[in-house]
Amino acid sequence: MSVIVRDETGQILLLCKGADSIIFDRLSKNGRMYEEATTKQLNEYGEAGLRTLALAYQKLQEAEYSAWNEEFSKAKTSIGGDREAMLEQVSDMMERDLILVGATAVEDKLQKGVPQCIDKLAQAGLKIWVLTGDKMETAINIRFSCSLLRQGMKQICITATNEATLGQDPEKSVKENILMQITNASQMVKLEKDPHAAFALIIDGKTLTFALEDDMKHQFLNLAVDCASVICCRVSPKQKALVTRLVKEGTGKTTLAIGDGANDVGMIQEADIGVGISGCEGMQAVMASDFAIAQFRFLERLLVVHGHWCYKRIAQMICYFFNKNIAFGLTIFYFEAFAAFSGQSVYVDWYMLLFNVVLTSLPMISLGVFEQDVDSESVYVDWYMLLFNVVLTSLPVISLGVFEQDVDSEVYLQFPALYQQGPKNLFFDWYRIFGWMGNGLYTSLIIFFLNIIIFYDQAFRAGGQTADMTAVGTVMFTCIIWAVNCQISLTMSHFTWIQHLFVWGSVTTWYVFLVFYGELSSALDENAFKILTEVLTPAPIYWIITLLVTIACNLPYLAHISFQRSFNPMDHHINQEIKYYRKDIEDRHMWKRERSKARQETKIGLTARVDAKIRIITSFKKSSTTGKTSRIDICGNKSGQRQDRKQRSG
């Protein structure tokens, strides 16, 4: 990047800054005086983890400048596809024969908590790649400090050989060379017998341009996926996006990209989930991302706690939506068999109309959309059905979807392996979905047939009155409301006042609604006048049926969860029990032990580094006691903290 200025004496200067490799290429012969010294200093800076820049200048003559300026203005004002190329060309003409001034280095410290965050994420089973625009030494050094790389890891460097040294068709031979490197490295990885061996793949931007081409990218991806950590240096923003796309499409797994600058925007948008860090680099990354956090370390909480909760909540909510709407909708279909398939609804007009209009807006807010295909003109013009999905059963579902916590957040942070329930898709597999749908079917059958058979044709009250369609429909609806709300309270495991309010409040709202609806005779449907107060409340059979049907509908689900919890529990069930019986407090030793076990086997991160050190020390001890000699690599920690000894003892 350059700027042309005129100083006070009238001398025109071209001042240029850029990456050292680029600048050194453009130096003139006499500008290379300090090249060696500068290179040495740059390496030192890089090893210290600083971000470096080289500076150079050139003095320009008037004539030279004005000639060039003409060209440059022409290029600037040109319209067309190759404007960029023209500008590039013209700038290139000027940026040569520079005189080296020196180098700068900027400390770009790692944020607080980054090594621990990476460690936790690795323990949760996530794979971490780094894509950066820094030079290789800087990138490597920073990764050492957060333990993405460590001593003892075999580093595989894929580099493009210098083109100028090759003969005809340099590009092809460079590509072949890179392909050979990749193949060799893949062989090496495959033949590795030591299960604890870890490989790190390091590749730079120039090489990446070749490696991402269609004929090579699959081999590259296969090699990269086998390595414990991948570091791409000197990557341009476009390449960041391409690499992300390659991983996303090649592996089919969910990818998350996190970045803080404008150069990360392409990558963030390409990944399945984009996270932007708001901060000193500006807000471009934040504006392009799905989630924005303030510091890198918050990613841990975002993923492990909120991501997991979100997954569980949405899965449960969707399954439950299927269940309750199947339970409700099928009763209407069954009734058709008894109404000569004329399309008459057993539920009162207005109930369903109100329910369904408001229905479609609240669930959208609560992240689950379940469309209700009800035409107000034709058949189901019923208030009950409208109220059903909006008020009477959606609020509990919203409380399930927004507030449900099966395990506390602290437990998630301490037991990263619980995170794997998400990637393994334990809560939204077909078995579970069909199970809930089957439950809905069963519920609908119970509700409909029990009601119909009990209300068959005889009187339903001491006064000898028989039930008309309104009464039967209202009783059936009451049963549905109770059954469905009891079902959700069995599903939820975290009851705050909000859940209680929504669930029991929905049931109460139904009764309140019936009272009010029964009072409004003229405006609305006449048949339901005083339906609750006069017709149903004094009839004991109404209350008895409600109790019977509610309990009968929840029987299978209750039995299922009882047996599953007791004889085939899932991890979070056990955690809940431990918390419930306060065993985490009584038996701290057990709690810590489980904490340390509850992680995926990782090859990167602080704990992996500690484990590797332990292995080396124990193998050293073993070999020294057996009298054998062996070469040991004593790894020295360049920077970064040691994990505390508590985890080692666990």
Tokens of 171: 């590009």
Distance in angstroms (rounded) separating the CA atoms of residues 421 and 410: 17
Q: Please identify, using beta-carbon distances, which residue of 37 and 561 lies nearer to another protein.
A: 561
Least Cβ distance, residue 113 to another protein (angstroms) = 6
Least Cβ distance, residue 495 to another protein (angstroms) = 5
Is 240 part of any known ligand binding site? yes
Least Cβ distance, residue 83 to another protein (angstroms) = 46
Distance in angstroms (rounded) separating the CA atoms of residues 486 and 490: 6
Least Cβ distance, residue 402 to another protein (angstroms) = 9
Least Cβ distance, residue 583 to another protein (angstroms) = 4
Greatest pairwise CA separation for the chain in angstroms: 115
Least Cβ distance, residue 398 to another protein (angstroms) = 14
Distance in angstroms (rounded) separating the CA atoms of residues 375 and 381: 7
Of 396, 561, 399, nearest in space to 483 by CA: 396
Is 132 part of any known ligand binding site? yes
Q: Please identify, using beta-carbon distances, which residue of 36 and 526 lies nearer to another protein.
A: 526
Least Cβ distance, residue 20 to another protein (angstroms) = 36
Distance in angstroms (rounded) separating the CA atoms of residues 15 and 17: 7
Q: Please identify, using beta-carbon distances, which residue of 138 and 443 lies nearer to another protein.
A: 443
CB atoms within 10 A of CB 328: 28
Least Cβ distance, residue 631 to another protein (angstroms) = 29
Of 335, 131, 353, 162, nearest in space to 240 by CA: 131
Q: Please identify, using beta-carbon distances, which residue of 70 and 586 lies nearer to another protein.
A: 586
Q: Please identify, using beta-carbon distances, which residue of 458 and 630 lies nearer to another protein.
A: 458
CB-based contacts of 450, cutoff 8 Å, min separation 6: 479, 545, 548, 549, 552
Is 133 part of any known ligand binding site? yes
Is 360 part of any known ligand binding site? no
Residue 482 identity (one-letter amino acid): W
Is 599 part of any known ligand binding site? no
Label residue 470 exposed, middle or buried (CB < 10 Å: 0-12, 13-18, 19+): buried
Q: Please identify, using beta-carbon distances, which residue of 10 and 463 lies nearer to another protein.
A: 463
Strands of 86-223 (E only): list them: 99-107, 129-131, 154-158, 199-204
Dihedral sign, Cα of residue 256, residue 261, residue 263, residue 265: positive
How remote is the C-alpha of 93 from its chain's centroid?
A: 47
Q: Please identify, using beta-carbon distances, which residue of 522 and 625 lies nearer to another protein.
A: 522
Per-residue DSSP letter, 262:
G
Least Cβ distance, residue 376 to another protein (angstroms) = 14
Per-residue DSSP letter, 459:
B
Is 194 part of any known ligand binding site? no
Parallel, antiparallel or unpaired: strands 129-131 and 154-158? unpaired
Is 396 in contact with 488 (CB distance < 8 Å)?
A: yes
CA distance to 67, 143, 305, 420, 619, per residue, from 124 (Å) = 61, 19, 11, 7, 28
Residue 506 identity (one-letter amino acid): S
Least Cβ distance, residue 290 to another protein (angstroms) = 19
Least Cβ distance, residue 588 to another protein (angstroms) = 10
Is 112 part of any known ligand binding site? no
Q: Please identify, using beta-carbon distances, which residue of 24 and 557 lies nearer to another protein.
A: 557
Q: Please identify, using beta-carbon distances, which residue of 449 and 511 lies nearer to another protein.
A: 449
DSSP string, 360-429: TTHHHHTT--------TTTS---HHHHHIIIIITHHHHHHHHHH--SS-HHHHHH-GGGGGGTTTT-SSS
Q: Please identify, using beta-carbon distances, which residue of 219 and 421 lies nearer to another protein.
A: 421
Least Cβ distance, residue 412 to another protein (angstroms) = 9
CB-based contacts of 581, cutoff 8 Å, min separation 6: none
For the chain, the straight-line distance linking the first and the last C-alpha, in angstroms and rounded, comes to: 54
Q: Please identify, using beta-carbon distances, which residue of 85 and 590 lies nearer to another protein.
A: 590
Is 91 in contact with 57 (CB distance < 8 Å)?
A: no
Q: Please identify, using beta-carbon distances, which residue of 122 and 246 lies nearer to another protein.
A: 122
Residue 275 identity (one-letter amino acid): V
- Torsion from C-alpha of 289, 290, 292, 297, nearest 10 degrees: -100
Distance in angstroms (rounded) separating the CA atoms of residues 250 and 388: 45
CA distance to 111, 325, 352, 496, per residue, from 390 (Å) = 46, 12, 10, 21
Is 134 part of any known ligand binding site? yes
* Known binding positions: 17, 51, 132-134, 234, 240, 260, 263-264
> Which residues define the annotated binding site for ATP?
17, 51, 132-134, 234, 240, 263-264
Per the annotation, binding residues for Mg(2+) are: 260, 264
